Amino acid sequence: MQQKRFRGDKRPTHAWHFRTSALELEQFKQCLLGEHRSAGDLHVRSWLNRAADEAASIAWATPHPLLVLPVLLEEKLEDARRKAELQKAIYERSQPIVALAA
C-alpha cells in the first residue's frame, strides 16, 4: 500500500537523498590532509596529495564517504610516505652514477 504524501511532506524518496556532496568530501579531505602536509618536503607532499585524492575517490564510491575517508586516508598516507622514502633513497643512491655520466 502506497503512503499518501502531503504537500508539506519533505521526506526523501530514497536513501541516496542523504548522499554527501563532492564539495563536502573535498573540504573534509583538505581538512584531514592539512594535518599531514606541514611535515615533509615538496616531494613528499606530492605523494600525500595523490594518496589523498585516491582515498577520496574510493570513499566516494561507498554509501558513507565521510565515515570511510579518515581511516582510508591514514592507510593511503602511510603507504605514500613509504613510497616517497623509497624514491628518495633510490635518488640519493643514484647520484654518484648520474654525476659520472655528466
pLDDT (0 to 100) of residue 2: 55
Cβ neighbourhood burial of 97 (10 Å; 0-12, 13-18, 19+): exposed
pLDDT in tens, the chain (102 residues): 555 554 554 544 444 445 678 899 999 999 999 877 766 677 888 899 999 999 999 999 999 999 999 999 999 999 999 999 999 999 999 998 888 876
E strand or H helix at 81: helix 65-101
Q: Under a CB-based contact definition with an 8 Å cutoff, are residues 49 and 80 in contact? A: no
Residues in CB range of 60: below 8 A, 6 or more apart:
22, 25
pLDDT (0 to 100) of residue 12: 45
Is the pTM above the cut of 0.85?
no
**CB atoms inside a 10 Å sphere around CB 39:** 10
